[in-house]
Structure formats: C-alpha cells, structure tokens
Amino acid sequence: MNTGPKEKILNDDNSRPALRAAINTTCIKLPAPPEPSHLRGSGADRQHTLSHRNASHRRREPKFIGRIGAELDVKTGHMAAYLAAVNALAVAREHLGSLDKVTRIVRLGVLVATSGDVREQPRIADGASELLQDVFGKDKNPSRLVYGVASLPLGVPVELELIFEVSA
C-alpha cells in the first residue's frame, strides 16, 4: 500500500550495508525507543530470540486512541500498526545494539481493537508487515497471526507481539 512519501522514522547507523540500503531506500529513521507505560515482556533467551510486546503505546501519550469501526477508520489503524512496528524496531535496536543482529523475524502477532462488524484486521496488520518487509526483505517475512479484540490497554487501536531470531 502506497501512502505517499514516508516520513523518516527508521535509521540504524551501525547497520550492515544491505540493511542500511533498505532503510535508506524507504527513507526511514528509527527514533529513540519510548519508555514503557507499564511492565511488559521484552528480552532474550538462550535460543537466541528477542521478544517484544506492547509496541504501540509507551509512557508518552498514545498517538492513536480508539477502536477501528468506531472512533477510527481502517487507514488510521494501518498507520497505528506501522507506528507500532517502528517502536518495536527502536526497542530491538536499543536492546541488541544494532538491527544487524536480527537474522529473521519468527513471529508477528497483531491485536486490533475493533467494534461491530469490522473484518479488515489483516489490512490493518499490513501496516506493520509492510514496514518489516521494507526493512528486512521479503525473505525474512514472519509467521503472522492477527486478532480482532474488543479493547486494548490505554485505548490504543493496535498492539504487536514480535519474536526476532538474533545472532549470538
């Protein structure tokens, strides 16, 4: 989905050339990761994975509040999923030191707060999937699971769960 010129929201100065080229091509700049709004899971284990959850909301005021089909439309949900993925990558980069250590994305879980008869959760989740594909390439596409839910913490429309495979 082409949403016009993308604001620079990802950047990784310590990236390998192919990843740096992908980031530059998509005009993305990673911000400093925001502080968590509450305790949440994020960390590495012995199988060389990094998991992250609650990427859409952090200790600052959420950019989007509401449910798709009530207060927000599908396009806004798509943007919220994109922003959640940006935040997840910022947290991963801070935790790992560089996104170069990501060898693939194992799983992407997308929770979408909807109301009524909304059935467009996969289109909304594409906001996160498209960014991850732009940054890491199609060959690292994760398994994806999309849920429609009645509500999410702090009233945000989208929440992500990401599992990254990382090099030692």
pLDDT in tens, the chain (168 residues): 444 433 333 444 444 555 556 655 565 666 666 655 443 444 444 457 777 776 554 556 788 999 999 999 999 999 999 999 998 898 888 888 889 999 889 999 999 999 988 999 999 999 999 999 999 988 888 899 999 999 998 899 999 999 999 987
What does the pLDDT read at residue 139?
84
Residues in contact with 32: Cβ distance below 8 Å, sequence separation at least 6, in sequence order:
90, 94
- Written as one letter, the residue type at 57 is H
Q: Rounded to an integer, what distance in angstroms lies between the CA atom of residue 163 and that of residue 168?
A: 15
Q: Are 161 and 125 in contact (CB under 8 A)?
A: no
Rounded distance, CA 166 to CA 89, Å? 13
What's the pLDDT score for residue 45?
A: 47
Render 106-145 in DSSP notation, one character per residue: EEEEEEEEB-TT---HHHHHHHHHHHHHHHH-GGGPPEEE
Q: What is the pLDDT of residue 50?
A: 77
| Helix (H) or strand (E) run with residue 21 in it | helix 17-25
